[in-house]
């Protein structure tokens, strides 16, 4: 099994190459991450925001009520979502950076 070193630029390059283009652009625009951990957390935050918004819109349109979930370790009073999630089933596996 290959070991990744999280302190080298190649790890960030490998991680970001797997992100959908829209998500990559939005994270870069809003968060300006410099480390692997920052990139990873920004991607997680965006996806959680997307899931929350999707559930809220579905409930608003007459679907089932949204389920409230909080990111582990997050303070729900201070967590401010910055992007609207780009990892949906519609673009899974598509439009990745190369």
Check residue 72 and give its pLDDT. Answer: 44
Q: Which residues of the chain have pLDDT under 50?
A: 66, 70-80, 88-93
Check residue 88 and give its pLDDT. Answer: 47
Residues 6 or more apart whose Cβ sits within 8 Å of residue 40: 15
Q: Tokens for 81, please give them.
A: 């979502």
Check residue 65 and give its pLDDT. Answer: 52
Check residue 95 and give its pLDDT. Answer: 53
Report d(CA 94, CA 77) in Å as an integer: 34
């Amino acid at each position: 099994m290959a070991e990744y070193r999280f302190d080298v630029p190649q790890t960030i390059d490998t991680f970001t190459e797997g992100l959908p283009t829209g998500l990559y652009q939005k994270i870069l625009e809003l968060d300006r991450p410099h480390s692997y951990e920052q990139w990873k957390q920004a991607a997680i935050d965006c996806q959680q925001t997307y899931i929350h918004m999707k559930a809220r819109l579905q409930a608003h349109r007459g679907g089932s009520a949204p389920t409230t979930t909080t990111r582990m370790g997050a303070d729900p009073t201070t967590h401010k979502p910055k992007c609207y999630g780009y990892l949906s089933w519609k673009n899974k596996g598509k439009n990745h950076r190369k």
